[in-house]
Chains A and B, each alone.
Chain A
């Protein structure tokens, strides 16, 4: 990879952050649009994001991107200066512009030509906002040639023709030097602008003995008399923006700040110096000031790491965990006493391995915020197409989840949200009839719950039309006409393959991709989908997902002689049943009565085909597991060996999905044990499940 590609990559990585900040800011503005107090800081942040994208794009000659962000920036600038009132309509357009900007960045990243993508209408709309609301105060639509980093400024336009004096205060940070900058070069550049003198403030310099070599103790004050204006001076500091505390003030301001009686004169002077129309270069300088203010609260230091490297490390940690299991086995086999030094060291090794592994997971974890922002956009677009008014709210967007999980959530969530807009929320007329506000509300929330992540999409729509669902399921032959189903069972019908309730195939949903695909995608992640609905009140679809795809805490069990692993998170309790508590319903329907509740039993050994008949249940151990159908199941196993952390190894790379099995793991003796998916295992254990063969394995 060439160097320019590297820089390009960095630019796009930064774009991700900037777009996130942009969406964030617009979201905040949207929330506060009704309030009188419009947050200047937020508008600034939004402006800065767009401006930085424009700047970077210009460097790579991404013309469409530059052009569009320029229009966008102009409108934001007017908002910032209060020349345009932030109406709901304007904010909506800004949202759209942000979406479009995201598209442009994405297409530029993949190296496509963005000219065809460029949304002329949207640009025109932005322009219209700039012109109509602000009258003549709008900046003239100048042809910059779209190279905004170097802006030709005609000096006789507004700058005082005579020279003026500026006081520049400059404090470098450690980072400035670390990046290879040197204040001397900056000062030299300043010297070229005019007459200047530097004074060094060494008052904070400690005694030599206390001196820490990499701390910054020196401040500089520069007095510069120049014919150039403020923006030229701040341009000098462009490359150290954010790496230093900087203030550039005209001498008058400086005096004003120090001697109150001169304030009036200073104000007059600044009023004279105020340009008729702000130019982008001027904005730069304002921005710089804004940045300067914030510098004290510098963000936590972080590094960008290649994702492959992290993945590699995760794999190595996985091997480490396996290796530790091997060692444990060896030591057990050697029959060392419990108190031996080796065992103590091994325990230490165990906890270290766990520490490393947990921290690695934390590195891989990412907040769901970008995902949620993407979904906000999906909801916006979907409601536009459907002609419905929908408010999209998010909760818990700082929740951190493994990034693979996040990536693989995009498609299912998109589908669910489109569904919510299309089928969940009613159209405005029907909402009025039902006595609800016309604007529907869709909430997307994320939260950690007992070692798993719970992601919920809920709407305040009409809820699932159960009679209709039933009718369709019968007409499509999915269930028999005389089936009697509970409400939640009817809701589950939505997940059956080949079920789609949309009367008309709309643009949004009903493209033949059903909820069954959503469910299988979530199941592939080791997750579960649950749906609940109240007529007239709305529907909630919940995904419960594992925090990570690399390891899990499992109970190692014996299933008819085979070693298998059951995820601990799924197990509610374990028990040894008394013979009198086990009852038989029909020929093979075993149930166990626990605290006066009857719970169905599945003999895993029989379910997985390791033995023909159900084993002697009274001699087995029952694991009570959660089920999405709100009903616990008891999994019968022949014994429990151990409880330990296991590394998840995919079966699907080389083989395919095995019903009832989530993945595999490698035990201490190097053997493979299968990890049971309790949810699927209980599902498959019903008669039709056992007969099913793996799709991909049938004769080709």
Chain B
């Protein structure tokens, strides 16, 4: 009993799982701010194809990334059934467009395996590891890579 309690404190990771196309992906729950339905975004000029635009989240301008396009799974045609997962990494807020959110689950850290060699380099670059659960495979997204970084230049 005691050991189980210890595990829950030190070794468990809570993940939000969702579907992109036909594949299962997940991200750490700590980086998720909220989950909301898709609303049309304002298009940004000169943006990469996977940036759908920006939306107004209670006064904050949040860019939306089409995760399917970002992971090279083809562009989505967003409609009201799509879901936006708002994430915050390093004070930067970005919404990820996914097909649907499936579950919140706790897994042990040791369950996360490195990305198999077989994965193509491009797809593998966005994933920090995989988790095999029952018959499914969950891909853990590396948010740092997926989210467009802010280009900043300062006067030295």
Residues on A close to B: CB < 8 A?
315, 318-319, 322, 411-412, 415, 511-513, 517-518, 520-521, 562, 607-610, 649-661, 664, 666, 670-674, 692-698, 700
Q: A664 near B61 (CB under 8 angstroms)?
A: yes
- Please provide the 3 A-B residue pairs with the shortest distance between their CB atoms, ordered closest to farther: A696-B151, A608-B45, A672-B42
Contact of A661 among B45, B53, B94 (CB under 8 A): B45
Bound state CA distance, A513 and B155, in angstroms? 7
**Given A651-B54, A693-B48, A696-B152, does the pair A673, B42 have CB atoms closer than 8 Å?**
yes
Cβ-defined contact, A671 with B156, below 8 A: no
Say yes or no: A693-B153 contact (C-beta < 8 A), given A651-B61, A664-B54, A666-B59.
no
B residues 6-45 with Cβ under 8 Å of A? 40-45
Seed contacts A672-B56, A698-B48; 11 additional CB < 8 Å A-B pairs: A322-B59, A610-B43, A653-B60, A653-B61, A653-B150, A654-B62, A655-B148, A672-B61, A674-B45, A693-B48, A694-B46
How many residues does chain B have at the interface if contact means C-beta atoms less than 8 Å apart?
A: 32
Which residues of A lie under 8 Å from residue B149 when comparing CB positions? Answer: 656, 696-697, 700
Best-surrounded residue of A411, A610, A693, A697 (most CB of chain B within 10 A) = A697
Query: Does B51 have its Cβ within 8 Å of any Cβ on chain A?
Result: yes
Contact B61 A650 (CB under 8 A): yes
From B46, B93, B152, give the contact of A658 (CB < 8 A).
Answer: B46
A609 with B45, Cβ < 8 A, contacts A654-B92, A654-B94, A672-B54 known? yes
> Once the chains bind, are B148 and A697 in contact (CB under 8 Å)?
yes
Closest CB-CB distance, B59 to chain A, in whole Å? Answer: 6
Which residues in A have their C-beta under 8 angstroms from that of B55? 672
Residues B54 and A694 in contact, CB atoms below 8 Å apart: no
Contact for B155 among A318, A415, A694, CB less than 8 A: A415
Query: In the bound complex, what is the Cα–Cα distance between A327 and B54 (angstroms)?
Result: 23
Write out the residue numbers on chain A whose beta carbons fall within 8 Å of the beta carbon of B118: none
Query: Contacts A415-B155, A659-B46 given: A697-B51 contact, CB under 8 Å?
Result: yes
Query: For residue B61, which residues in chain A have a CB less than 8 angstroms away from its CB?
Result: 649-651, 653-655, 664, 672
The contact sample of 11 A-B pairs, CB cut-off 8 A, is A652-B150, A652-B152, A654-B62, A654-B94, A657-B151, A671-B40, A672-B54, A672-B56, A696-B151, A697-B48, A697-B151
Q: Shortest CB–CB separation between residue A641 and chain B, in angstroms?
A: 15
**In the complex, which residues 97-154 of chain B have their Cβ closer than 8 Å to any Cβ of chain A?**
145, 148-153
CA distance A660 to B63 in the complex (A): 17
- Please determine whether B148 and A656 come into contact, CB atoms closer than 8 angstroms: yes
Cβ-closest chain A residue relative to B63? A655
Contact of A694 among B43, B47, B62 (CB under 8 A): B47
How far, in angstroms, from A247 to B141 measured CA to CA in the complex?
77
A655 contact from B43, B45, B91, B150, Cβ within 8 A? B150
Chain B residues within an 8 Å CB radius of A609: 45-46
Chain B residues in 8 Å Cβ range of A517: 153, 155-156
Contact of B42 among A315, A521, A607, A671 (CB under 8 A): A671
Question: In the complex the two chains form, what is the Cα distance from A657 to B149 in whole Å?
Answer: 11
Minimum CB–CB distance for B141 against chain A, Å: 14
Residue of B nearest to A676 (CB): B45
How distant is B97 from chain A, measured CB to nearest CB, in Å?
15
> Which positions in B face A, CB cutoff 8 Å?
40-48, 51, 53-56, 59-63, 91-94, 145, 148-153, 155-156
Q: Which of A315, A653, A659 contacts B45 (CB 8 A)?
A: A659
Q: A315 vs B150: C-alpha distance in the bound complex, in angstroms?
A: 23
Counting chain A CB atoms within 10 Å of each CB, which of B43, B44, B148 scores highest? B44
Please give, as numbers and ranges, the residues of chain B lying within 8 Å of A608 by CB-CB distance. Answer: 45-46
Q: Is B43 a contact partner of A562 (Cβ separation < 8 A)? A: yes
A652 to chain B, nearest CB (A): 7
A128 CA to B53 CA, complexed, in Å: 68
- Do A695 and B151 touch (CB < 8 A)? yes
Q: Determine whether the beta carbon of B92 is less than 8 Å from that of A697.
A: no
Q: Are A696 and B45 interface neighbours, CB within 8 A?
A: no
Give the residue name and chain of the A residue nearest to B153 (CB): A520
**A-chain residues with CB within 8 Å of residue B41 when the two chains form the complex:** 672
Across the interface, A671 reaches (CB within 8 A) one of B56, B94, B148, B153, namely: B56
User: Are B46 and A654 within 8 A (Cβ)?
Assistant: no
By a CB distance below 8 angstroms, the chain B residues around A695 are: 151
Greatest chain A CB density within 10 A among B47, B51, B92, B94 is at B47
* CB of A326, distance to nearest CB on chain B (Å): 11
A579 to B91 CA separation, bound complex (whole angstroms):
51
- CB-CB under 8 A from B45, the residues of chain A are 607-610, 658-661, 674
**In the complex, A610 Cα to B155 Cα: how many Å?**
33
Q: By CB atoms of chain B within 10 A, which of A666, A693, A694 has the most?
A: A694
A695 → B minimal CB distance (Å): 4
CA distance A517 to B41 in the complex (A): 32
Give A694 to B150 CA distance when docked, in angstroms: 10
Contact A411/B155 with A656-B148, A672-B54 known, Cβ cut-off 8 Å: yes
CA distance A511 to B155 in the complex (A): 11
A700-B46 CB under 8 A given contacts A655-B61, A664-B61: no
Q: How far is the CA of A672 from the CA of B42 in the complex (A)?
A: 6
- A318, A607, A649 pick with most chain B CB within 10 angstroms: A649
Q: Which residue of B lies closest to A652 (CB)?
A: B150
Q: How far is the CB of B57 from chain A (nearest CB, A)?
A: 9
Q: A654-B94, A697-B148 are in contact. Are A412 and B155 (CB under 8 A)?
A: yes
B145 to chain A, nearest CB (A): 6
Q: Which residues of B lie under 8 Å from residue A319 when comparing CB positions? A: 59
CA of A672 to CA of B40, assembled, Å: 10
Chain B nearest CB: distance from A298 CB in Å?
Answer: 42
Q: Name the B residues within 8 Å of A653 (CB-CB).
A: 60-61, 91-93, 150
Please state if A674 and B44 are interface contacts (CB–CB under 8 Å): yes
Q: Are A521 and B56 in contact (CB under 8 A)?
A: no
A605 to chain B, nearest CB (A): 10
How many angstroms between the C-alpha atoms of A654 and B41 in the bound complex?
A: 15
B144, closest chain A residue (CB): A700
